[in-house]
Structure 1
Amino acid sequence: MTAATPDVHGPIDFLLIEFENENLTGEAGPALLDLVERGIVRLYDLLVVRKHEGGAVETVELSDPELAGGFSYFAAASSGLIGDEDVREAAEAMREGTTAALIVYENSWAIPFVAAARNSGGEVIASARIPATDVMAALDALDATTN
Protein backbone atom coordinates (compact mmCIF):
# COMPACT_ATOMS: atom_id res chain seq x y z
CA MET A 1 0.00 0.00 0.00
CA THR A 2 1.31 3.44 -0.90
CA ALA A 3 1.58 5.85 2.01
CA ALA A 4 -0.59 8.92 1.57
CA THR A 5 1.04 12.33 1.62
CA PRO A 6 -0.60 15.16 3.59
CA ASP A 7 -1.84 16.91 0.42
CA VAL A 8 -3.63 13.81 -0.87
CA HIS A 9 -7.33 13.46 -0.20
CA GLY A 10 -9.98 11.00 -1.22
CA PRO A 11 -13.13 12.16 -2.98
CA ILE A 12 -15.22 14.44 -0.77
CA ASP A 13 -18.98 14.03 -1.00
CA PHE A 14 -22.09 15.30 0.63
CA LEU A 15 -25.31 13.47 1.37
CA LEU A 16 -28.69 14.81 2.33
CA ILE A 17 -30.66 11.95 3.83
CA GLU A 18 -34.32 12.65 4.59
CA PHE A 19 -36.17 10.74 7.31
CA GLU A 20 -39.89 10.59 8.05
CA ASN A 21 -40.22 11.95 11.58
CA GLU A 22 -42.45 9.09 12.70
CA ASN A 23 -39.93 6.47 11.48
CA LEU A 24 -36.77 7.72 13.18
CA THR A 25 -35.01 4.70 14.71
CA GLY A 26 -31.59 6.13 15.55
CA GLU A 27 -29.80 3.42 13.54
CA ALA A 28 -28.11 5.72 11.01
CA GLY A 29 -25.84 7.43 13.54
CA PRO A 30 -24.17 4.25 14.82
CA ALA A 31 -23.78 3.01 11.22
CA LEU A 32 -21.98 6.26 10.32
CA LEU A 33 -19.83 5.99 13.46
CA ASP A 34 -18.79 2.50 12.36
CA LEU A 35 -17.63 3.86 8.99
CA VAL A 36 -15.65 6.62 10.69
CA GLU A 37 -14.06 4.28 13.25
CA ARG A 38 -13.01 1.83 10.53
CA GLY A 39 -11.39 4.65 8.54
CA ILE A 40 -13.66 4.22 5.55
CA VAL A 41 -14.82 7.84 5.71
CA ARG A 42 -13.58 10.97 7.44
CA LEU A 43 -16.45 13.13 8.63
CA TYR A 44 -16.12 16.86 8.03
CA ASP A 45 -19.61 18.08 8.87
CA LEU A 46 -22.91 16.71 10.06
CA LEU A 47 -25.94 18.94 10.42
CA VAL A 48 -29.46 17.78 11.23
CA VAL A 49 -32.27 19.89 9.79
CA ARG A 50 -35.98 19.70 10.55
CA LYS A 51 -38.68 20.99 8.25
CA HIS A 52 -41.95 21.39 10.09
CA GLU A 53 -45.45 21.33 8.65
CA GLY A 54 -45.97 24.83 7.29
CA GLY A 55 -42.35 25.02 6.08
CA ALA A 56 -40.51 26.38 9.13
CA VAL A 57 -36.93 25.09 9.23
CA GLU A 58 -34.63 24.59 12.19
CA THR A 59 -31.23 23.04 12.73
CA VAL A 60 -31.04 20.52 15.54
CA GLU A 61 -28.54 20.85 18.36
CA LEU A 62 -26.58 17.59 18.07
CA SER A 63 -25.45 17.71 21.69
CA ASP A 64 -29.04 16.94 22.72
CA PRO A 65 -29.46 13.15 22.30
CA GLU A 66 -33.22 13.45 22.56
CA LEU A 67 -33.35 15.72 19.51
CA ALA A 68 -30.37 14.39 17.56
CA GLY A 69 -30.97 10.69 18.17
CA GLY A 70 -28.17 8.50 16.88
CA PHE A 71 -26.29 11.51 15.50
CA SER A 72 -25.63 13.06 18.93
CA TYR A 73 -22.16 11.46 18.98
CA PHE A 74 -21.16 13.83 16.16
CA ALA A 75 -21.92 17.09 17.99
CA ALA A 76 -18.37 18.32 17.38
CA ALA A 77 -18.35 17.45 13.65
CA SER A 78 -18.15 20.89 12.11
CA SER A 79 -15.41 21.96 9.74
CA GLY A 80 -17.29 25.03 8.57
CA LEU A 81 -17.81 23.72 5.04
CA ILE A 82 -21.62 23.82 5.42
CA GLY A 83 -22.94 27.36 5.21
CA ASP A 84 -26.31 29.06 5.47
CA GLU A 85 -26.91 28.71 1.72
CA ASP A 86 -26.35 24.94 1.99
CA VAL A 87 -28.94 24.75 4.77
CA ARG A 88 -31.41 26.73 2.62
CA GLU A 89 -30.86 24.42 -0.35
CA ALA A 90 -31.24 21.34 1.86
CA ALA A 91 -34.49 22.72 3.29
CA GLU A 92 -35.82 23.39 -0.20
CA ALA A 93 -35.19 19.77 -1.15
CA MET A 94 -36.94 18.42 1.97
CA ARG A 95 -40.60 17.61 2.40
CA GLU A 96 -42.52 19.14 5.28
CA GLY A 97 -42.67 16.99 8.39
CA THR A 98 -39.24 15.44 7.84
CA THR A 99 -35.80 15.51 9.39
CA ALA A 100 -32.64 15.32 7.30
CA ALA A 101 -28.96 14.75 7.94
CA LEU A 102 -26.63 16.85 5.81
CA ILE A 103 -23.26 15.10 5.84
CA VAL A 104 -19.94 16.15 4.27
CA TYR A 105 -17.38 13.36 4.27
CA GLU A 106 -14.16 12.25 2.65
CA ASN A 107 -13.87 8.77 1.18
CA SER A 108 -10.67 8.08 3.10
CA TRP A 109 -10.54 4.50 1.84
CA ALA A 110 -9.47 5.98 -1.50
CA ILE A 111 -6.46 7.96 -0.23
CA PRO A 112 -3.83 5.22 -0.86
CA PHE A 113 -5.21 4.70 -4.38
CA VAL A 114 -5.26 8.45 -5.10
CA ALA A 115 -1.67 8.76 -3.84
CA ALA A 116 -0.51 5.84 -6.00
CA ALA A 117 -2.30 7.24 -9.04
CA ARG A 118 -0.77 10.70 -8.50
CA ASN A 119 2.67 9.17 -7.99
CA SER A 120 2.20 7.48 -11.38
CA GLY A 121 1.24 10.76 -13.05
CA GLY A 122 -2.48 10.03 -12.98
CA GLU A 123 -5.04 12.82 -12.79
CA VAL A 124 -8.81 12.64 -12.35
CA ILE A 125 -10.36 14.01 -15.52
CA ALA A 126 -13.99 13.04 -14.83
CA SER A 127 -16.03 11.92 -11.87
CA ALA A 128 -19.72 11.33 -11.23
CA ARG A 129 -21.95 9.74 -8.64
CA ILE A 130 -24.61 7.31 -9.82
CA PRO A 131 -27.49 7.09 -7.32
CA ALA A 132 -27.84 3.60 -5.84
CA THR A 133 -31.53 3.56 -6.76
CA ASP A 134 -30.58 4.03 -10.45
CA VAL A 135 -28.08 1.17 -10.29
CA MET A 136 -30.61 -1.13 -8.57
CA ALA A 137 -33.26 -0.28 -11.17
CA ALA A 138 -30.82 -0.98 -14.02
CA LEU A 139 -29.75 -4.30 -12.46
CA ASP A 140 -33.40 -5.28 -11.93
CA ALA A 141 -34.14 -4.47 -15.58
CA LEU A 142 -31.17 -6.53 -16.73
CA ASP A 143 -32.23 -9.39 -14.48
CA ALA A 144 -35.76 -9.27 -15.91
CA THR A 145 -34.43 -9.61 -19.47
CA THR A 146 -32.29 -12.65 -18.61
CA ASN A 147 -35.06 -14.58 -16.85
Structure 2
Amino acid sequence: MTTETTLEELGPVDYLVVEFPAGQQNFTGEAAEELARLSESGLIRVLDLLILTKNEDGSVDALEIDDIPAVDQIRALEADIAEILAAEDVELLAEAMEPGSVAGVLVFENRWAAPFASATRRAGGQLIANGRIPIQAIAASIEAELASEEGN
Protein backbone atom coordinates (compact mmCIF):
# COMPACT_ATOMS: atom_id res chain seq x y z
CA MET A 1 0.00 0.00 0.00
CA THR A 2 1.34 3.44 -0.86
CA THR A 3 0.55 5.11 2.44
CA GLU A 4 2.13 6.14 5.70
CA THR A 5 -0.54 4.29 7.69
CA THR A 6 0.71 1.20 9.51
CA LEU A 7 -1.39 -1.95 9.73
CA GLU A 8 -2.04 -1.17 13.39
CA GLU A 9 -3.63 2.16 12.41
CA LEU A 10 -5.62 0.89 9.43
CA GLY A 11 -9.38 1.27 9.55
CA PRO A 12 -11.83 -1.36 8.31
CA VAL A 13 -11.53 -2.02 4.57
CA ASP A 14 -14.64 -2.56 2.47
CA TYR A 15 -15.36 -3.07 -1.18
CA LEU A 16 -18.42 -2.41 -3.25
CA VAL A 17 -19.42 -3.14 -6.80
CA VAL A 18 -22.02 -0.97 -8.48
CA GLU A 19 -23.43 -2.23 -11.78
CA PHE A 20 -24.94 0.05 -14.40
CA PRO A 21 -27.12 -2.09 -16.69
CA ALA A 22 -27.11 -1.59 -20.45
CA GLY A 23 -29.43 1.25 -21.42
CA GLN A 24 -29.43 2.74 -17.92
CA GLN A 25 -26.00 4.35 -17.88
CA ASN A 26 -26.13 8.08 -17.16
CA PHE A 27 -22.55 9.02 -16.30
CA THR A 28 -22.60 12.71 -15.41
CA GLY A 29 -19.55 12.72 -13.15
CA GLU A 30 -21.64 13.25 -10.02
CA ALA A 31 -20.56 9.95 -8.43
CA ALA A 32 -16.89 10.71 -9.12
CA GLU A 33 -17.31 14.13 -7.50
CA GLU A 34 -18.86 12.54 -4.40
CA LEU A 35 -16.09 9.95 -4.17
CA ALA A 36 -13.47 12.71 -4.38
CA ARG A 37 -15.32 14.67 -1.66
CA LEU A 38 -15.39 11.64 0.66
CA SER A 39 -11.68 11.08 0.16
CA GLU A 40 -10.72 14.74 0.55
CA SER A 41 -12.76 14.97 3.77
CA GLY A 42 -10.78 12.08 5.25
CA LEU A 43 -13.79 9.79 5.73
CA ILE A 44 -12.38 7.18 3.36
CA ARG A 45 -9.12 6.35 1.61
CA VAL A 46 -9.40 4.81 -1.83
CA LEU A 47 -7.29 1.67 -2.05
CA ASP A 48 -8.37 0.45 -5.47
CA LEU A 49 -10.78 1.61 -8.13
CA LEU A 50 -11.66 -0.23 -11.33
CA ILE A 51 -14.17 0.17 -14.10
CA LEU A 52 -15.35 -3.13 -15.60
CA THR A 53 -17.19 -3.37 -18.91
CA LYS A 54 -18.84 -6.66 -19.80
CA ASN A 55 -19.30 -6.88 -23.54
CA GLU A 56 -22.25 -8.61 -25.20
CA ASP A 57 -20.02 -11.60 -26.02
CA GLY A 58 -19.20 -12.00 -22.31
CA SER A 59 -15.64 -10.68 -22.53
CA VAL A 60 -14.62 -8.17 -19.89
CA ASP A 61 -12.47 -5.06 -20.11
CA ALA A 62 -10.98 -3.85 -16.82
CA LEU A 63 -9.54 -0.37 -16.51
CA GLU A 64 -7.62 1.01 -13.55
CA ILE A 65 -8.52 4.59 -12.71
CA ASP A 66 -5.34 5.98 -14.25
CA ASP A 67 -6.36 4.40 -17.59
CA ILE A 68 -9.71 6.20 -17.73
CA PRO A 69 -9.66 9.57 -19.49
CA ALA A 70 -12.96 11.07 -18.26
CA VAL A 71 -12.56 11.03 -14.46
CA ASP A 72 -10.74 14.25 -13.67
CA GLN A 73 -12.66 14.57 -10.37
CA ILE A 74 -10.77 11.63 -8.91
CA ARG A 75 -7.35 12.05 -10.49
CA ALA A 76 -6.12 13.45 -7.17
CA LEU A 77 -6.84 10.07 -5.55
CA GLU A 78 -4.20 8.30 -7.64
CA ALA A 79 -1.52 8.72 -4.96
CA ASP A 80 -3.63 6.72 -2.49
CA ILE A 81 -4.58 3.92 -4.82
CA ALA A 82 -2.86 0.68 -3.89
CA GLU A 83 -4.24 -1.48 -6.72
CA ILE A 84 -4.92 -4.48 -4.50
CA LEU A 85 -7.43 -6.32 -6.68
CA ALA A 86 -5.92 -9.25 -8.58
CA ALA A 87 -6.95 -10.56 -12.00
CA GLU A 88 -8.76 -13.44 -10.27
CA ASP A 89 -10.85 -10.92 -8.31
CA VAL A 90 -11.84 -9.17 -11.52
CA GLU A 91 -12.89 -12.48 -13.09
CA LEU A 92 -15.09 -13.37 -10.10
CA LEU A 93 -16.72 -9.94 -10.02
CA ALA A 94 -17.34 -9.98 -13.77
CA GLU A 95 -19.21 -13.30 -13.51
CA ALA A 96 -22.01 -11.53 -11.64
CA MET A 97 -22.36 -8.81 -14.28
CA GLU A 98 -24.90 -8.81 -17.10
CA PRO A 99 -23.65 -8.48 -20.71
CA GLY A 100 -23.64 -4.84 -21.85
CA SER A 101 -23.23 -3.51 -18.33
CA VAL A 102 -20.55 -1.36 -16.75
CA ALA A 103 -19.51 -1.72 -13.10
CA GLY A 104 -17.45 0.37 -10.75
CA VAL A 105 -15.40 -1.54 -8.20
CA LEU A 106 -14.21 0.41 -5.19
CA VAL A 107 -11.98 -0.84 -2.36
CA PHE A 108 -11.71 1.68 0.45
CA GLU A 109 -10.52 2.14 4.00
CA ASN A 110 -13.08 3.52 6.43
CA ARG A 111 -10.77 6.15 7.92
CA TRP A 112 -13.51 7.45 10.22
CA ALA A 113 -13.47 4.07 12.00
CA ALA A 114 -9.68 3.69 12.20
CA PRO A 115 -9.28 4.94 15.81
CA PHE A 116 -11.99 2.55 17.04
CA ALA A 117 -10.55 -0.35 15.03
CA SER A 118 -7.04 0.34 16.37
CA ALA A 119 -8.30 0.55 19.96
CA THR A 120 -10.13 -2.76 19.69
CA ARG A 121 -7.06 -4.47 18.19
CA ARG A 122 -4.88 -3.12 21.01
CA ALA A 123 -7.43 -4.53 23.48
CA GLY A 124 -7.07 -7.95 21.86
CA GLY A 125 -10.24 -7.82 19.78
CA GLN A 126 -10.57 -9.18 16.30
CA LEU A 127 -13.32 -8.83 13.74
CA ILE A 128 -15.26 -12.08 13.41
CA ALA A 129 -18.21 -10.92 11.31
CA ASN A 130 -19.48 -7.92 9.44
CA GLY A 131 -22.04 -7.22 6.78
CA ARG A 132 -24.05 -4.66 4.97
CA ILE A 133 -27.80 -4.35 4.54
CA PRO A 134 -28.72 -3.19 1.01
CA ILE A 135 -30.79 0.01 1.01
CA GLN A 136 -33.39 -1.77 -1.14
CA ALA A 137 -33.97 -4.27 1.70
CA ILE A 138 -34.41 -1.44 4.23
CA ALA A 139 -36.85 0.37 1.93
CA ALA A 140 -38.85 -2.84 1.40
CA SER A 141 -38.98 -3.43 5.17
CA ILE A 142 -40.22 0.12 5.83
CA GLU A 143 -42.84 -0.18 3.07
CA ALA A 144 -44.04 -3.51 4.49
CA GLU A 145 -44.30 -2.00 7.98
CA LEU A 146 -46.27 0.98 6.68
CA ALA A 147 -48.59 -1.31 4.72
CA SER A 148 -49.29 -3.45 7.82
CA GLU A 149 -50.01 -0.32 9.88
CA GLU A 150 -52.49 0.88 7.26
CA GLY A 151 -54.16 -2.55 7.30
CA ASN A 152 -54.82 -2.37 11.04
TM-score by structure 1 length? 0.79
- In structure 1, C-alpha distance between the alignment counterparts of 2:104 and 2:147, rounded to whole Å: 35
Structure 1: runs of 5+ lacking an equivalent: none
Q: 1:80 to 1:61 in 2, by over 3 A?
A: closer
**Matching residue of 1:25:** 28
User: Identity of paired residues, percent?
Assistant: 39
Structure 2: runs of 5+ lacking an equivalent: none
Question: 2:49 touches 2:64 (CA, 8 Å); kept in 1?
Answer: no
**Matching residue of 1:14:** 15
Correspondence list, 1:85-100, <5 A = 85-100=88-103
- In structure 2, C-alpha distance between the alignment counterparts of 1:14 and 1:42, rounded to whole Å: 12
Q: What do the CA deviations read for 1:71-95 (whole angstroms, capped 9, x no partner)?
A: 5555555423200011111211111
TM-score by structure 2 length? 0.77
Aligned-residue Cα RMSD (Å) equals 2.6
Give the aligned length. 142
Question: 1:27 touches 1:70 (CA, 8 Å); kept in 2?
Answer: no
Question: 2:32 touches 2:74 (CA, 8 Å); kept in 1?
Answer: yes
Question: 2:39 touches 2:77 (CA, 8 Å); kept in 1?
Answer: no
